Amino acid sequence: MKPIYIVLLLLAAAFHVLYKGTLSFVLLVFLIALPVISGVMLLLEARRMRVTAECEETVTERGKGVSVIIRISNPTVLPIASCGIRVRYKTCFPFEKTVSDKHDIFLPVAPKGSEKAAVRFKAEHCGAIDVSLEKVRVFDFLSLFSVRKKIALKEKIIVIPPACDFDADMETGVVSDSESSSFSQVKSGDDPSEIFRLREYRDGDRMNRIHWKLSSRSTGLIVKELSCPVSSKVLLAADFCGCKSAEDTDRVLDMLSALAAYCLKNGNACTAAAAYSGGMLRTWELSDSCGLCGALADMSEDICRLDFENRISESGADIFKEKFSRIAVAAATVNKAFADELSLLCGESGLTIFCTDKSPENTGGEPLSAEVVYMGNIS
């Protein structure tokens, strides 16, 4: 509209010079006053209009995409010629440069009306997308003036692995654990907090195990067998050493997610663990799908801080020594040194390494000391 207005103003000025009269004068004055009228209307509109924005979801699965919904409300009787909105987003994925880009939207809004627009983002890798409204500007209908509105929107969209089917068998079993509140249904132990069963006395039974009250009512001595506390908890560890790209990192997270979903489906509580740069180990207790989603979101949010240089057995040596019925490690690559070190740390706990690569690395033809399942890409 701006070029058209300038052309009309010049034509009106020429018309007034050539044909002096009331009509040409009124036309010229109107065109000169028009920007003032347009500017006043713009100020009234900009003062009362409302712009809101929100993320459809703050956590989404990789490849699914998520939208930022922008709503513009105009409570005045004046039309808004154009409202320009700039949405800026910045992606953070491992082994890739941070990418910053923008998306511009221009919307007219009718009097007493509202408009809605959606900006959709789709991430190809697990990680984080920072989204912000960088600029909101309202234009008059002549495009001569504009007013900037301050709108606060800074959201972080977390991209997590999609749900994957796990088609490998994994024996979880149980292991003795004196700290557990669950007890074995098939064998006795030394925990006096619960009686496993009652039976007749045998030579060699301890005197303090005799149930004297029941024995007094019976023809023989009755002995208490104490309970055996056990744990069926599974440790799921993610080892990112060996990842060389964002795709490699995605595959390890996919494997961890599939293993956790498999264990939870089979009634096994899990502890998930991942190593971060600086030798820090972080753990999450998983008892349901919500806990799993939260753990994956935490890993994805700080995905660039994961430890891609060192094996998880270095920073997480202590946790492998705890009582778990099964330890499953999702790793990008496996070599003999890594398998031997994990086997030594895990002790009685059953160990399985699920490798996202399709073949062993640097084994020298020797058998590995741990059970290794080469899964490849499961997504």
Q: Give residue 179's pLDDT.
A: 53
Q: Give residue 266's pLDDT.
A: 75
367 and 282 in one domain? yes
235 and 222 in one domain? no
Q: Give residue 318's pLDDT.
A: 84
User: What range defines the domain where residue 263 resides?
Assistant: 231-374
Residue 2 lies in a domain: no
Q: How many domains does the chain have?
A: 3
139 and 260 in one domain? no
Q: Give residue 247's pLDDT.
A: 92
Is residue 175's pLDDT more than 50? no
- Range 108-124 average pLDDT: 89
Confidence label for 174 from pLDDT (cuts 50, 70 and 90): very low
Domain with residue 285: its CATH number is 3.40.50.410
155 and 273 in one domain? no
Is residue 234's pLDDT more than 80? yes
Residue 172 lies in a domain: no
Determine how β-strand 326-331 pairs with β-strand 234-239.
parallel
Is residue 28's pLDDT more than 60? yes
Q: In Å, what is the CA distance from 185 to each residue of 75, 195, 196, 224, 268?
A: 70, 11, 8, 15, 16
364 and 337 in one domain? yes
Residue 216 lies in a domain: yes
Question: Contact, 142 vs 34, CB < 8 A?
Answer: yes
305 and 345 in one domain? yes
| Angstrom distance (rounded) from CA 351 to CA 4 | 76
Residue 26 lies in a domain: no
217 and 144 in one domain? no
281 and 216 in one domain? no
Q: Give residue 267's pLDDT.
A: 73
Helix axes of 289-301 and 246-265: crossing angle, nearest 10 degrees:
160
Residue 8 lies in a domain: no
Confidence label for 294 from pLDDT (cuts 50, 70 and 90): very high
Confidence label for 176 from pLDDT (cuts 50, 70 and 90): very low
253 and 151 in one domain? no
| Angstrom distance (rounded) from CA 122 to CA 91 | 11
142 and 81 in one domain? yes
Q: Per residue in 41-74, pLDDT tens?
A: 889 888 888 888 888 888 999 988 888 888 999 9
| Angstrom distance (rounded) from CA 241 to CA 186 | 40
Mean residue pLDDT across the chain: 82
Written in H, E and C, the secondary structure of 234-276 is EEEEEECCCCCCHHHHHHHHHHHHHHHHHHHHCCCCEEEEEEE
Virtual CA dihedral for 358, 361, 365, 369, nearest 10 degrees?
A: -90
